Chain A
Amino acid sequence: MSRGIELTHSTKRRAIPVAMALAGSLALAACGAANESASSSGTSDAGSSTEQLSGTLDGAGSSAQQAAMQGWTAGFSTEQPDVTVNYDPVGSGGGREQFLSGGVDFAGSDAYLSDDEVTKAKDRCGGGDVFELPNYISAIAVVYNLPGVDELNLSPDTIAKIFAGSITTWDDPAIKADNPDAQLPGTAITPVHRGDKSGTTKNFTDYLAKAAPNSWTGGAVDEWPAQGGEAANGTSGVISAVQAGKGAIGYADESQAGSLGIADVKVGGDWVKPSAAGAAAVVEGSQIKSGRGQYDFAYDINRTPTDKSQYPLVLVSYHIGCMQYADADTATLVQAFESYVISQDGQKAAADQAGSSPISDTLREQSQKAIDAITSQ
């Protein structure tokens, strides 16, 4: 009776637990692979001069820093093989929130803390101040796809009008005025912007709002404000959209521009191409926001410099942490990690991994003073 049914279904009965075990092990392997932790290297002679630390450091925040953070954690683990640095790229807003609630030891953020957040941070840091170090500087390039035009000069007003939709063809008088010698075709312009929330958009619109206030009324926002134009997803989306559309123009991280044409931007009376030195120089030449702690280096980037060694279209991303930690081990780990990040090796690792611009020596000295002053309660 029931025996007969059991026999014909026995293979099915045996197969189900095996299949579940296989699926379960695959799922666990996937979970394990997603959580990357710094692996200890065999030799430790690289860090033999400094004290060998151990422990875990947790950070969260900007996704723009994600690639650089991979370079930093890999490089730091060769110096300190027993330290694990975890970074969760939830976005700048999420990173600041997690830091203020005490969930992570430091945050990576494309924007400096607002005044309200500074007050909250004082509570989080047990009454002490915060440090905000501009550790990641990345130049934003205006890329375009116009066959036959290799050199293009654009003034801030022209860029603003193109992205606001007032200029619609490449042979518009405003573009001709910036490029008197160039042969510009009558192709239609397709401006490409980011469809997702992004620090690149925030810095680009901030530049337009400050350098071309008459032509750009959208303000400095991290989500593209206007309708019209193409929206692309992520830096790679912008690059592929500009590559695909003839006559397209967009803004993206300079290191991802590939073979696309890059426009020269007007600074003072000169035309400046994006460069690592120019990006670092404009941060150095900018003002630190006043009324904050001694080691809170929150820069209001000068978007209208006149010196041609400065390139104003930059994204600056900060590392935010406490000057005073409750736990002595955390303070030491933060000091060691941040020292590596601002060092020449660290900045070179970030430049190799993410194409960022290394910080200048002046910024390095300034940040080192802040790191040396980190203490524990």
Chain B
Amino acid sequence: MTTTSQSPDRRSVRRLGDRLFSGSATGAGVLILLVLAGVATFLVAQSIPALTADPADLPQGGSLAAYIWPLLFGTLLAATIALLVATPLAVGIALFVTYYAPRRLAQGLGYLVDLLAAIPSIVYGFWGIAWLAPRLVPFYEWLDEHASWIPFFAGPASATGKTMLTAGIVLAIMILPIISAISREVFRQAPALHREAALALGATRWEMIRMAVLPYGRSGVIGGAMLGLGRALGETLAIAIVLSVSPGVVSVNLISSTNPSTIAANVALNFPDSSGLAVNALIASGLALFVITFAVNFFARAIVNRRAEFSE
């Protein structure tokens, strides 16, 4: 368009629509930042009474660090188990759907896996405690009998199956659809030229995937895994229902009844009947989770950006 005589200066033409749109977009961005700042301020302000309190007044009678550390350990342990179980499974599903399955089956399977994300987490908790836990008990007893020299499988097997390993498996199924969906998108976008070149040179399908698809998709898979990790860190009700928690214990024993609680599940279990300083202690544990999730996302983003430089 040629500039009209109405705007003699060199500024671009900005109509009312442009200004409205850019203003509301900026407003939305600023609003999100304000909400985030508000949440952070609330967490810090409500935690201060717990941070400055006398240890004898806090729940479990010790210092705040002694209260939060087992919860943090439990959160990271459950999330790590979930990630270790879910990521290979999700990558496998994504590869099957994009490269191995016939077209119609692939679409249906992709849709079904995405449907897993629609199930409420409390339903996962009920399924875990009613169906999964009792069926894992013979497996735990077998582990206790044959592999109890490994610290992860030491100790008496739980009779009801409500252990950290069960909770980790339930979490893995919950984060599976997230990782799988992102992996599928990334694998589908692997450059066709590279794939066809590999096939033309005589590679088998698996070799083609290994040479052309996986290196390209690595950063995307990591990004998806970090998203799943974020959900696993914050999962509340499923763990509160499935896990048998003991206060203040730090243990890597995955098959016994004595498990550390996770931060979110601990808040869900104790908030309804708490008052006064106990509530401040719970919010302080929430602040710890906020910081950890922030750090994990930051770290993940750094990895993804670094790899993005190489994989382009």
Contact = CB atoms under 8 A, between A and B. Distances in A.
Interface of A: 63, 89-94, 96-97, 188, 190, 192, 195-199, 222-225, 227-233, 237, 240-241, 244-248
Given A197-B270, A240-B130, A244-B134, A230 B257 contact: yes
B160 A197 contact: no
9 contacts: A93-B276, A196-B273, A228-B257, A228-B258, A230-B162, A240-B129, A241-B244, A244-B133, A248-B160
B190 interface: no
Contacts of B270: 196-197, 223
Q: Which of A91, A188, A222, A233 has the most CB of B within 10 A?
A: A233
Given A196-B269, A223-B270, A190 B275 contact: no
Interface string B268-283: 0110111110100000
B244 A232 contact: yes
B87 interface: no
B240 A190 contact: no
Given A196-B270, A223-B270, A227-B246, A244 B275 contact: no
Contacts of B275: 91, 93-94, 96-97
A311 to B, nearest CB: 25
B273 A231 contact: no
B159 A246 contact: yes
B59 interface: yes
Interface in B266-310: 269-270, 272-276, 278
B257 A229 contact: yes
Nearest to A92: B273
Contacts of A94: 273-275
B245 interface: yes
Given A195-B269, A232-B244, A244-B133, A227 B274 contact: no
Interface in B44-80: 59
A100 to B, nearest CB: 11
B249 A248 contact: no
B161 to A, nearest CB: 8
A190 B274 contact: no
Given A190-B257, A248-B160, A228 B246 contact: yes
Given A93-B274, A227-B249, A197 B244 contact: no
A247 B243 CA distance: 19
A206 to B, nearest CB: 16
Contacts of A241: 160, 162, 244
Given A224-B247, A230-B257, A240-B129, A198 B240 contact: no
B246 A231 contact: yes
A196 B158 CA distance: 19
B127 to A, nearest CB: 13
A211 B156 CA distance: 30
Contacts of A224: 247
Given A91-B272, A223-B247, A233 B159 contact: no
A91 to B, nearest CB: 4
A91 B160 contact: no
B173 interface: no
Contacts of A188: 156, 159
A244 B134 CA distance: 7
A89 B240 CA distance: 19
B241 interface: yes
Contacts of B258: 227-228
Contact of B244 (A225, A230, A247): A230
A196 B156 CA distance: 23
B257 A222 contact: no
Contacts of B276: 93, 97
A245 B160 contact: yes
A93 B160 CA distance: 32
B133 A230 contact: no
A96 B243 CA distance: 30
Nearest to B133: A244
A230 B158 contact: yes
A91 B159 contact: no
Contacts of A227: 246-249, 258
A228 B241 CA distance: 18
B274 A244 contact: no
Given A227-B249, A230-B244, A248 B159 contact: yes
A140 to B, nearest CB: 16
B269 A197 contact: yes
B7 to A, nearest CB: 19
